[in-house]
Structure 1
Amino acid sequence: MVSASIVVPGVLASIALVDGVLAGFRAATGRNGLIRKRGYYLVAMRRGLVAGGAVLGCLALVLAVVLATAPDPATRYGDLTHAGITMLWFIGPYASVVVASLIGYAVLPRRPATFLILLGLGPLTLIRPWVTIAAGLTAAWTAPNLPTAACAVLAATGALAVEPWVHRRWYAEPA
């Protein structure tokens, strides 16, 4: 059986990278008048993935410093894992519905797929920042120490910063 200390960081990193891809897509929507936008959106999603990966890399460096400077790194890693589990209680159900909507979009006929996207992803895009903020603040509130709380808030802030960063960098002006 795989330990939570391995699964939790992996799941959170995967969710962050998928969120970066979707942030790139959201940043690019409505910015181009082309009829066939597949290539345009693929570039946008790649940019979001790179931006999300950069934010994730910066967070990994901060976490490495927090662990390296801890009096007991094993205990601090356990605290960080617990904060990650707390965040997953909020983000996990949200991410599951998003993935289910995307799978439905990929496999269903056009009309039901479009309805599923409108029903699922439309409202979920609006509550995404609130779910992320709730996850970060709850993990920080329940954290046993200040460095763990700061890392939880930094992770939530970093996830929310990807879309504005991609938007300002590449899509501030219509193409």
Structure 2
Amino acid sequence: MPVVLASIALVDAALAGFRAATGRNGLIRKRAYYVVAMRRGLAGGAAVLGCLALVLGAVLATAPDPGTRYTGLTQAGISMLWVIGPFAAVVVASLVGYAVLPRRPATFLILLGLGPLTLIRPWVTVAAGLTAAWTALDLPTAVCTVVAATSVLAVEPWVHRRWYAEPA
């Protein structure tokens, strides 16, 4: 469960870097520009995941029964995945379709899939965090789920402010 959620968070962070850079550069060929932006987002996401790992490690280390706490955290992760999983599957399907389809259908797929999904992404993330917090077995687990959801949402604004607040 931790690996699946971390993988989704890292892909989201890379796409957050892309979104932060979109519309900030007048170049015609922007591939290298967007690759750098995605790397920046990925680095920010990895830093956030590292901090979350430290928090979760501290929560597990200070638990009276670490095995029970780990089970609670895993169940909270499963709750998050029930909310985020379908969303992530549609995003991956849109990206795969964009990569393999001819230009016009691929563009239509991106506009149909990723356009609206980008708008609801924060709401899905908040819903996942709140669902996991609501179903959590204890308060530390609930707090960890809310912190995790908030941290994922903080990557894009940070990347935007750090590198892309001014047009290039």
Q: Same fold (TM over 0.5)?
A: yes
Distance in 1 between residues matched to 2:75 and 2:137, nearest whole Å: 10
* Number of residue pairs aligned between Structure 1 and Structure 2: 168
Distance in 2 between residues matched to 1:68 and 1:124, nearest whole Å: 37
Match of 2:127 among 109, 134, 158: 134
TM-score normalised to structure 1 length: 0.96
Percent identity of equivalent pairs: 83
Deviations 1:56-109 (A, max 9, x none): 000000000000000000000000000000000000000000000000000000
User: Match of 1:81?
Assistant: 74
Match of 1:10 among 3, 14, 25: 3
Distance in 1 between residues matched to 2:55 and 2:166, nearest whole Å: 33
AA matched with 1:70: A
TM-score normalised to structure 2 length: 1.00
**Superposition CA RMSD, Å:** 0.3
Distance in 2 between residues matched to 1:93 and 1:147, nearest whole Å: 27
Distance in 1 between residues matched to 2:127 and 2:27, nearest whole Å: 38
Q: Which residues in structure 2 correspond to 1:95-114 (within 5 Å)?
A: 95-114=88-107
Runs of 4+ in 1 over 2 A off after TM superposition: none
Distance in 2 between residues matched to 1:99 and 1:10, nearest whole Å: 17
What are structure 2's unaligned runs of at least 5 residues?
Answer: none
Quote how far apart the aligned CAs of 1:142 are.
1.0
Quote how far apart the aligned CAs of 1:20 are.
0.3
AA matched with 2:94: S
Q: Which residues in structure 2 correspond to 1:15-54 (within 5 Å)?
A: 15-54=8-47
User: Match of 2:64?
Assistant: 71
